[in-house]
Amino acid sequence: METTDIIELSLPFKPEYVSIARLTSSAVASRIGFDIETVEDIKVAVSEVCTKYIKKGSNCANHYKLIFKVFKDCLEISFDCQDKTLKCIFSQEDDGLAISIINALMDEVKLCSEDENYLLNMSKKLEGKV
C-alpha cells in the first residue's frame, strides 16, 4: 500500500492530554473522509490505547507517540514509545472492556504489533473510496 501522508503526535503520560489524542484522531479521520460515526469510533479506540499507556506509565520514557498513516483506502494508527516494555500490555483480565471496545470499533487490531518499530497497530478501511 502506498502511504500518502504521515501525521505524528507525541504526548506525555498524563491523563489531561488524552483529549488531545481524541481531537487529533478525529481531525485526521474527518479530514480523509470518514463519516461522523466512524470518526467517533476511531477516536474512542485511540483514546482507549492512550488510557492504557497512561495507567501503565513508564520509568524511562516521558512521552508516547501516535503515528497516523493515511493510505488511499485506509487509515492505520500505530503507537510507539522508547519504553518497549509497553508492548503487549493489554490483558483480557484487566482490560476486558477496553479490548472489547477497540476490537469492535476498528477493522484490524494488533495489540502486539508484529512490526518491531511499533507497540500496537490498528486500522480502519475507508469504505467507498477504494
Q: How far is the CB of 35 from other proteins (least distance, A)?
A: 13
Which residue, 26, 33, 16, is CA-closest to 77?
Answer: 26
Locate all alpha helices (DSSP H) within 4-111, ordered by sequence: 18-31, 36-56, 92-105
Q: Which parts of this chain interact with other proteins (CB under 8 A)? A: 15-20, 22, 37, 40, 44, 47-48, 51, 54-55, 95, 97-98, 100-101, 104-105
Q: How far is the CB of 49 from other proteins (least distance, A)?
A: 11
CA distance 25 to 61: 22
CA distance 67 to 49: 13
CB closer to other proteins, 69 vs 86: 86
Q: How far is the CB of 28 from other proteins (least distance, A)?
A: 18
CB closer to other proteins, 53 vs 118: 53
Q: How far is the CB of 47 from other proteins (least distance, A)?
A: 6
Q: How far is CA 20 from the centre of its chain?
A: 13
Dihedral sign, CA of 92, 9, 18, 82?
positive
CB closer to other proteins, 97 vs 130: 97
CB closer to other proteins, 17 vs 71: 17
